[in-house]
Amino acid sequence: MNKRATIGDVAKLAGVSTATVSRVIHTPDLVTDSTRKAVYSAISQTNYTLNLAARNLRQQRSNAIVVLVPDIGNTFFSEILAGIERVASSAGQTILIGHTAHDHMREEKYLNNLLNSQADGALLLNGHLPASVATKIGETPGRRLPIVSVSEALADQIVPHVGIDNDRAAALVTQYLLDHGHRRIVHLRGPVSNILTCQRAKGFARTMKAAGLQVSPDMFLDGDFTIESGIAAASVLIAAGSMPDAVLCANDEMAIGLMSRLAEHGIHVPQDVSVVGFDDIAFSRTAQPALTTIHQPRAEIGERATRILLELIAGDNDASNMITTLPVELVERASVALNRGFTAT
């Protein structure tokens, strides 16, 4: 028992050929009861386990998909992952999570290493497709590379995408603030290189303009989706000396960071300033006050994306589902108040 048993060892012990052993594993129905039993017994005697590297090599496929996640610590992604896993595992696919940490090198590493031999397809939650891979997509126009972008859109729409309409979601929440009488609204953005950030900022600006409000650069604060950047943004507001009516944060982490810093300074949400977030992560419910935010159907986003990916892998090249947009929902909690002295029109 020094080395791992191979299919040959099992075959010898059971007195059959390797082909038969393989059939017992793969398609048991093709094999007689008696031989099947003999093979099973030999398998357990030898402690045989399949060598997946060999199978993958032979079958030219790995039954695994790789999921690129920019930040595992962000709870927003875990529910998407849950949806992905549900569909993938019921289709017999293993999922491999690659943590990219917003690092383009890692993205490329995971995609090159895995896509080209260890995985059959990829789900991109990171909003970035390395140039080397993008090139390859262009080169094979017939057979699309099995890649789907999820939640965060790519700069070029060259692979199918599943997500929400960020522009309209931002417009929705902006209008909600306007309806509550807020006029001086500040938008705490994500990193400007992020597509999602741009879409949300656009929806915000458009809605403000439509309400007859001037959009100026000082209505924007820059963050990077972390709690810390929310805290920093609060410090900026505090230093400025006057609070806006409301702050629209591009995600919940920043909103929570912002609120905690405001609380330290005795500034009350929503009495002194209203705050809204984006994503509806678990901690938005436990924030003080509970955070009003935009809820995304995360599990469904993951499920849909995975189904599309599986179709691509199977070769069902239905171009109809290039863009899947799922609806969002505004979750009203306690972080937005009616503006002082405002009366609904």
Partner DNA sequence: CATTCCTATGTAAAGGATTACATTGCTTCT
Partner DNA sequence: AGAAGCAATGTAATCCTTTACATAGGAATG
* Packing angle of the helix pair 75-90, 298-314 (nearest 10 deg): 40
Its sign, for the CA torsion 227, 229, 232, 237, is negative
Beta-ladder partners of 187 = 220, 248
Number of other CB atoms surrounding residue 168 within 10 Å: 17
285's enclosing H/E stretch is: helix 283-286
Which one of 43, 48, 166, 270 is in contact with DNA (CB under 7 A)?
48
* Residue ranges with strand state E in the chain: 64-69, 94-99, 121-124, 147-150, 161-164, 185-189, 220-222, 246-249, 274-276, 293-295, 323-326, 329-331
Which one of 13, 42, 51, 153 is in contact with DNA (CB under 7 A)?
51
- In the complex with DNA, which residue's Cβ is closer, 53 or 323? 53
With CB under 8 A as the contact rule, which of the stretches 113-121, 153-161, 176-184, 336-344 interacts with a second copy? 113-121
Could you say whether residue 63 binds DNA (CB under 7 A)? Answer: no
Could you say whether residue 314 binds DNA (CB under 7 A)? Answer: no
Cβ-contact 159, 140 below 8 angstroms: no
Could you say whether residue 79 binds a second copy (CB under 8 A)? Answer: yes
Which one of 60, 140, 216, 320 is in contact with DNA (CB under 7 A)?
60
With CB under 7 A as the contact rule, which of the stretches 2-10, 160-168, 223-231, 281-289 interacts with DNA? 2-10
In angstroms, the CA 218 to CA 184 distance is 11
- In the complex with DNA, which residue's Cβ is closer, 30 or 192? 30
Cβ-contact 305, 150 below 8 angstroms: yes
- In the complex with a second copy, which residue's Cβ is closer, 41 or 113? 113
User: Applying CB under 7 A, which residues contact DNA?
Assistant: 3-4, 6-8, 15-23, 25-26, 30-32, 34-35, 48-51, 54-55, 57-60
User: Applying CB under 8 A, which residues contact a second copy?
Assistant: 1, 4, 47, 49-54, 56-57, 62, 71-73, 75, 77-79, 81-82, 85, 89, 94-99, 101, 106, 109-110, 112-114, 116-118, 136, 139-140, 227, 231, 256-257, 259-260, 263, 282-283, 285-288, 290
